[in-house]
Amino acid sequence: MNDIRFHDMGDGRRIAFRLAEGNGPCLVFLPGYMSDMAGSKATALFDHAREEGRAALLLDYSGCGKSSGIFAEGTLSRWRDEVLALVAAYVSAPVLLVGSSMGGWLMLLVGEALGARLAGMVGIAAAPDFTRWGYCEQQRARLAAGEIVYEDNPYGPEPTPTHPGFYADAEHHMRLGREIAIDCPVRLLHGQDDADVPWEVSLRLAEALRSDDIQVTLVKHGDHRLSRESDLALLRRTVAALL
């Protein structure tokens, strides 16, 4: 991680990223909610890309990891624009998006914006529209009223916050209720023991995407993170096949 660089967004935000120069479509990894580019899946894909001489880009959204900014100000729109800014500045090749959890929602927004530059997508427990199906009616009402909603965090000691700004912005980015105008090859990986995102969400996403080249892989006993060595091996094989 001694190769971290920073991209100036022009408004005080400095977005941390790692870039591997190489051949073929550039793999761009989109982390999940409150996650960053130091995670095991991002690192495994980046290291593998370097070993194979392929291009790859990792980044931390503003307010996350080593990027500047305030997490409470983060939204799908804001983070989408950061990803697109880095792609525009540092990637000339077609783009293969890999999105984990919330990153799987964000990859749809980025993919739509990339248009013909989009070479493929890989979702890992993709969670589009999670502010609708992932919250009860009372939680949604509190968020709509401007309150922060906290939930138990199985991955750390501090509760996970959802901020009303994120929720309000997300309402403009619902995708599962209509056709998603993306035609590239798509691979969706989902653990059948995922306690955070039901695996049926990947089936709904496959149905909503316009592409005819979609495969959904359900991993028996796989959890939300899909970070076991066997899961990482599956991810590397899936990405390599698309590249």
Note the helical H segments in 31-136: 40-52, 76-90, 102-114, 130-133
The fraction of the chain above a pLDDT of 70, given in percent, is 100
Please report, rounded to a whole number, the percentage of residues in the chain having pLDDT higher than 90: 96
What per-residue confidence (pLDDT) applies to 243? 87
pLDDT of residue 158: 86
pTM greater than the 0.85 cutoff: yes
User: How wide is the angle at C-alpha 237 spanned by C-alphas 192 and 6, nearest 5°?
Assistant: 95
Q: Catalytic positions, please? A: 101, 194, 224
Mean pLDDT of 184-203: 98
pLDDT value of position 155: 77
Q: Rounded to whole angstroms, what are the CA distances from 207 to 84, 151, 197? A: 26, 30, 17
Contact call for residues 66 and 36 (beta carbons, < 8 A): yes
In this prediction, residues 192-214 reach a mean pLDDT of: 98
How many Cα atoms occupy the beta-carbon half-sphere of 5 within 13 Å?
A: 10
pLDDT digits (tens, 9 = 90+) for 74-109: 999 999 999 999 999 999 999 999 999 999 999 999
Measured distance between the N- and C-terminal CA atoms of the chain, rounded to whole angstroms: 24
Mean pLDDT across 37-42: 97
**Integer Cα distance of 158 and 150 in angstroms:** 9
Domains (range + CATH), the chain: 5-129+180-242 (3.40.50.1820)
Mean pLDDT score of the chain: 97
- What backbone phi and psi angles, to 5 degrees, belong to 25? -55, 145
- In this prediction, residue 154 carries a pLDDT of 79
Strand partners, 149: 162
